[in-house]
Amino acid sequence: MIDLHSHTNESDGTCSPKQLIEEAARAGVTVLGITDHDTLTGFDMAREPAREAGLQLVCGIELSTKLHGRSVHLLGYFPDTGNLAEFREWILDQQASRRERNVRLAARLRELGFDITLEEAEARGRGMTGRPHFAEIMVEKGYVKNLRQAFDDYLDESATGYVYRREPSFSEGVAAIRQAGGVSSLAHPVRVHGDVPRMMPELCEAGLTAIEAYHSDHDAQDTELYLGLARRYGLLVTGGSDYHGEVKPGVKLGTGYEGNLRVPPEVLDRLTNGKP
């Protein structure tokens, strides 16, 4: 079983890298892509546990980029991990912008009457603290009923507590991945604001090389749509559960939500060879 989209607690997942490998092995996953937000630390830490478990590990990352003022997530996959020194330096700058946003987010939530500090959030998220960690605190302190309400009412881009984060443009993210020898893939396109089919010429012009057709949020019709776009524009296809552990308890490694995910073997073959 193949799963090319997962997260550890080095970003916004709840499993340590070692625990994620253990969970993947238990689930029958034989090929796992770790795609933490703005960091490769989880992948680095999982290498030895994956080797010991006999599990093939794929180096990946998920970047937050801006396109027409909206956040668009971009996956990067790196078949060759020996050429990432400059890319690692580049993502350090993205991490710095994340922390600067978190300082302002904590202040904004206090303005709204929530007793939440940056230190509380960073105790959970450490260097990759993000909005999900603030949401967890809001639930635990009884300010909201669940994580979804925390985002809908306060943390999403259109909500009252949202604060802007300096993010690279979509084309800058694609270029950074390409320069590091990687494959750039449009993450969970069903979540992208706007008409994705109409946006494809612009995305391809920016250098996009793949699209995540298989995802836990996609139904069969969505998957067929994105596979069709991949064929039309000569793109590679990627896919994965977007596993986060306890944050998204309904999503399982390898099989997605209620078994709605199956990534075909040819997806990995073509990704490795770089040919649609």
Instruction: Tell me the per-residue pLDDT of 203-242, one tens digit each, with 9 for 90 and over.
Output: 999 999 999 999 999 999 999 999 999 999 999 999 999 9
What does the pLDDT average to over 154-166?
85
Identity of the amino acid at 29? V
Q: Grade residue 156 by pLDDT with cuts at 50, 70 and 90.
A: confident
Query: Which run of H or of E encompasses 240?
Result: strand 236-240
Give the pTM: 0.87
Judged against a pLDDT cut of 90, whether residue 75 lies above it is answered with yes
Q: Grade residue 141 by pLDDT with cuts at 50, 70 and 90.
A: very high
pLDDT at 63: 96
Between vectors from CA 99 to CA 97 and to CA 103, what angle results, nearest 5°? Answer: 115
Q: Grade residue 94 by pLDDT with cuts at 50, 70 and 90.
A: confident
Supply the mean pLDDT for the chain: 93
Q: Is 77 helix (H, G, I), strand (E, B) or coil?
A: strand
pLDDT at 127: 66
- What are the C-alpha distances in Å from 108 to residues 19, 35, 126, 259? 34, 29, 20, 39
Spatial separation of the C-alpha atoms in residues 87 and 91, rounded to whole Å: 6
Burial class (CB in 10 A: 0-12, 13-18, 19+), 19: middle
Judged against a pLDDT cut of 90, whether residue 129 lies above it is answered with no
